[in-house]
A and B are shown apart, each in its own frame.
Chain A
Amino acid sequence: MPAKTYVQTIINGEHVDLLCEPRQSLLEALRDVVGLTGTKEGCNDGNCGACTVEFDGRIVTSCLVLGVEAEGKEITTIEGVAQGSELHPIQQAFLENAALQCGICTPGFIVASKALLEQNPDPTEHEIRFWLANNLCRCTGYDKIVRAVQDAAVKMQEA
């Protein structure tokens, strides 16, 4: 087995040190080494968005990042989106708008939508669809996901 590398990161606001094989993706490191299984694998080649995480302020598909590249980086996964017992308004909007069916794509959509609303608090329908085009959902046809993001945008602006 190849030697492991010592990686120091901040995950969901906490300092996390981990031992990572050079061939392990960040997705694998998060799921199998750190035990944060909320980030999902749908393709392992960057094409489904189920593994989307925030990586030093931008969103990445974590299957296309190596675990060792997390050295010194700040990562937010789905597990870090809620504030304690308070759901994030996007999470609440997904629930209220029935924006998930099987739910496997949901963590990726929520992380991606949160990043969208942080940089564009009032997106048009087209902007939402464009931003989320790298996140595949096979269950919903996207209608309720788009509506949930619109709903969250309104509620976050009111707040």
Chain B
Amino acid sequence: MTQTLDYEPNMVLATKTYDVVGTRPVRHDGADKVTGRALYGADFATAGLLHGSILRSPHAHARIKSIDTSAAKALPGVAAVVTSADFGSDSDAVVDLGEGATSLKWLRDNVLASDKALYRGHAIAGVAASNPHTAEEAVGLIEVEYEVLPPVVTVEDAMADGAPILHDDLKTEELGEQTDTVSNVAQHFQHKKGDVSKGFAKADVIVEREYRAKTVHQGYIEPHNATALWNNDGRLHVWCSTQGAFTVRDAMAQLLDMPVSKIRVTPMEIGGGFGGKIPVYLEPVAALLSRKTGSAVKMVMSRADVFEASGPTCGSWSRVKIGGTSDGTITACEVELACEAGAYPGSPVGAGAMCALAAYDIENGTVDGYDVVVNKPKTAAYRAPGAPNAAFAVEQAVDELAQKLDMDPIELRLKNAAKEGTRRVDGPTFNRVGLVETLEAMRDHPHYSAPIGENQGRGVAVGFWFNIGFDSSVNLAVNADGTVILTEGSTDIGGTRASIAMQAAEVLGIPAEDVHPSVVDTDSIGFTAVTGGSRTTFATGWAAYEAAQSVKKQMIERAAAIWDVDADAVDMNRGVISSKSDPELSMTFKELAAQLGSSGGGISGTASVSPTGVGGSFAGNIVDVEVDPETGKTDVVRFTAFQDVGKAIHPSYVEGQMQGGSVQGIGWALNEEYYMNEAGGMDNSTLLDYRMPTSLDLPMIDTVIVEVANPGHPFGVRGVGEANIIPPTPAIANALQRATGTRLFETPMNPVAITAANGD
């Protein structure tokens, strides 16, 4: 499937250039990561370490009647066993740990079940032993008496009359009102703009369809892990792979009812997260076991545990009705989106509903969202959570509308594209966004006009993600040799040490390599929110910018003091400090750095920010598929990903985000799913059977970086991590329709589905 392009791949449509920003230095943590020296969570070891293991429910839905741990405790080598009783709390206070308000009881029960097991894989008890194998053996000796209940694993089954109820105390919130109805629907809400019935009355063509997307997992290659040491001074130290060390600290403080100041979390290198490494799973269990034993306890999930007891993102059901006039104006659109929350309320439906129609300037629209509990692990964030589910539906409906109107699908989107000033159906009005520029780049790209082969089809789609701001802190200190130490609290999952250091370097006018970034523990830096929401390069980068401004100001003041002139008369440009009036007075950043010690001491700068000028990001795909007419096997033969990133700080890692998100979308579209059996268990919880895309399944993933600067960031950054996973599922569905003449309304669009739909 090797293809030759008659143009250079990976275009960057830059609108502004800088000295450091926009270049491609080798990442600062690179050498450690290519030599095996980088220490990830599972690599952590300390003296006297015990190893933990977890007993998990074999049933998808069961009442826990009794737990007998005596035989496990008696096994030689076992140091302690814990169950949910060891939390010593029955508080059901409402807490918000950055993923929406939820009940403390639900958070605790998800870590160790108390009264009910709500999914196969639900943690029941934890064991600490002298080695991992003994811990596993002991787990097998714990006796649990269950009353097995019927499971529900899809939103449709869970919403049906007479469905088995997961939580006897869960009452539906209906359009903002708390009702007395006990059901699996935690919440139903609606966004509304204009009057859809009037809009549909004006339409010449209406498309109405139902769509289903399957549950999928983030699929990070590194399993969850945690080591906890409850020290003799009463302080708890946790080492783990997490997207947010401070989030872990806060979650532990809530779950263990202790002040945050008694907890220190050291973020180890993290082997992928995509949103799934925000919640705590093992950390509290390891802490309880450490409290009981007085030793550090390490726990690592198996791959089956990762699938069955962490993540995933939601499967969903949706319905879209869209109408347009013959000139291609969308007059109304109605969306219903029901998302799996997993075992406890809190699906990504809120974000999905907000993104559903974000790409369109529509006069009349409604979006109804349903948050539905099912017997699957509690969903966690996964790259633009909820938005791919919505887009799989809406972007196919828009495509079908274009076909019925006999319009080019990009032209139809351009005609109705949201832009600055457009009020979204969910309320907010857009500031400067780059959808039009992204669609124009797609339309004008050579891929869009390239000839297409036999059994092939070409599809397009777009997607929107908000991005977030939130708190970040950065410390900078100038070394005597003119390099700068940068300390930050944002987990680096994909090159953010570099993108943050580069923003400081740009301000200081020094090479990226002269800034040395470190990600430090929660005792060593100001509060920093999770690496998520595409916020790190935006917000922590902003903190680096601010801290660098402070260093710059102090460097200017110091030079002025040395020269005995007014600070106002001194400037610093591209790493050179000079007098505005006297050309004799000039020195480089390095020269001044060398004099700091003898001229009043070192200089450091610090900044804690919570920027509000977040810029949303639009992404789009052009994808060519080829379908084997006999087997239905689909090959993605050509793929071009477009995204408005605002400003690419390090274009290689921006491309990497776009390529990685695209491939996760391809996997979701063509192959990935939680394959559930009658008993509510996942039948394919190995990487062989879950089958994420391999290198052999894919072509090169070409990228086009569109830069429409975000006016809310000093370098125009929008954040790039998420929007790219949204367009692939509908773009592939649209391409398959053109290749085969048949439209598919459900993921995965695998050979079985394709041959069935084509009547073979």
Which residues does A use to contact B, with CB under 8 Å? 1, 21, 23, 31, 35-48, 50, 77-79, 81-82, 87, 91, 94-98, 100-107, 110, 124-126, 128-130, 132-147
When the two chains form their complex, are residues A144 and B659 in contact, meaning their CB atoms are under 8 A apart? yes
When the two chains form their complex, are residues A102 and B134 in contact, meaning their CB atoms are under 8 A apart? no
- B573: interface (CB < 8 Å): no
Q: Which of B352-372 contact A (CB under 8 A)?
A: none
When the two chains form their complex, are residues A101 and B222 in contact, meaning their CB atoms are under 8 A apart? no
Bound CA span A94–B273, Å: 21
When the two chains form their complex, are residues B660 and A139 in contact, meaning their CB atoms are under 8 A apart? yes
- B221: interface (CB < 8 Å): yes
When the two chains form their complex, are residues B34 and A87 in contact, meaning their CB atoms are under 8 A apart? yes
23 pairs from A and B in contact (CB 8 Å cutoff): A40-B40, A40-B222, A42-B222, A43-B303, A44-B303, A48-B303, A78-B35, A100-B33, A100-B34, A102-B220, A102-B221, A102-B494, A103-B29, A103-B271, A137-B221, A137-B695, A139-B272, A139-B493, A140-B663, A141-B659, A143-B655, A144-B652, A146-B700
Bound CA span A98–B33, Å: 11
When the two chains form their complex, are residues B219 and A138 in contact, meaning their CB atoms are under 8 A apart? yes
Say yes or no: A78-B36 contact (C-beta < 8 A), given A1-B131, A95-B30: yes
Q: Which of B649-666 contact A (CB under 8 A)?
A: 650, 652-653, 655-657, 659-660, 662-664
**What residue of chain A has the Cβ atom nearest to residue B24's Cβ?**
A98
- B269: interface (CB < 8 Å): yes
Bound CA span A45–B700, Å: 28
Residues on A with beta carbons closer than 8 Å to the beta carbon of B220: 102, 104, 138
When the two chains form their complex, are residues B701 and A45 in contact, meaning their CB atoms are under 8 A apart? no
**What residue of chain A has the Cβ atom nearest to residue B34's Cβ?**
A91
B495's partner among A36, A38, A101, A147 (CB-CB below 8 A) is: A101
- B223: interface (CB < 8 Å): yes
B223's partner among A42, A137, A138, A140 (CB-CB below 8 A) is: A42
Bound CA span A103–B37, Å: 11
Interchain nearest-CB distance for A69 vs B (Å): 18
A102's partner among B45, B77, B270, B662 (CB-CB below 8 A) is: B270
When the two chains form their complex, are residues B695 and A146 in contact, meaning their CB atoms are under 8 A apart? yes
Say yes or no: A143-B701 contact (C-beta < 8 A), given A37-B39, A98-B653, A138-B664: yes
When the two chains form their complex, are residues A96 and B26 in contact, meaning their CB atoms are under 8 A apart? yes
When the two chains form their complex, are residues A48 and B221 in contact, meaning their CB atoms are under 8 A apart? yes
Residues on A with beta carbons closer than 8 Å to the beta carbon of B523: none
Segment of B456-464, B469-477, B685-693 in the binding face: B685-693
When the two chains form their complex, are residues A104 and B660 in contact, meaning their CB atoms are under 8 A apart? no
Residues on A with beta carbons closer than 8 Å to the beta carbon of B692: 136, 138
- B296: interface (CB < 8 Å): no
Which residues does B use to contact A, with CB under 8 Å? 1-2, 24, 26-27, 29-31, 33-40, 42-43, 45, 77, 131, 133-134, 218-223, 269-274, 300, 302-303, 493-495, 650, 652-653, 655-657, 659-660, 662-664, 686-688, 692-696, 698, 700-701
**What residue of chain A has the Cβ atom nearest to residue B273's Cβ?**
A102
When the two chains form their complex, are residues B656 and A125 in contact, meaning their CB atoms are under 8 A apart? no
Interchain nearest-CB distance for B752 vs A (Å): 22
Residues on B with beta carbons closer than 8 Å to the beta carbon of A137: 221, 695
When the two chains form their complex, are residues A104 and B271 in contact, meaning their CB atoms are under 8 A apart? yes
When the two chains form their complex, are residues A144 and B221 in contact, meaning their CB atoms are under 8 A apart? no
B660's partner among A31, A94, A101 (CB-CB below 8 A) is: A101
Residues on B with beta carbons closer than 8 Å to the beta carbon of A104: 40, 220-222, 269, 271-272
**What residue of chain A has the Cβ atom nearest to residue B491's Cβ?**
A102
**What residue of chain B has the Cβ atom nearest to residue A142's Cβ?**
B695
Say yes or no: A95-B31 contact (C-beta < 8 A), given A40-B271, A104-B272, A133-B694: yes
When the two chains form their complex, are residues A45 and B35 in contact, meaning their CB atoms are under 8 A apart? no
Bound CA span A142–B695, Å: 6
Interchain nearest-CB distance for A46 vs B (Å): 8
Bound CA span A31–B73, Å: 28
**What residue of chain B has the Cβ atom nearest to residue A125's Cβ?**
B2
A140's partner among B1, B77, B134, B656 (CB-CB below 8 A) is: B656
**What residue of chain B has the Cβ atom nearest to residue A145's Cβ?**
B695
When the two chains form their complex, are residues A41 and B133 in contact, meaning their CB atoms are under 8 A apart? no
Interchain nearest-CB distance for B580 vs A (Å): 40
Residues on B with beta carbons closer than 8 Å to the beta carbon of A132: 694-696
When the two chains form their complex, are residues A141 and B269 in contact, meaning their CB atoms are under 8 A apart? no
**What residue of chain B has the Cβ atom nearest to residue A91's Cβ?**
B34
When the two chains form their complex, are residues B34 and A139 in contact, meaning their CB atoms are under 8 A apart? no
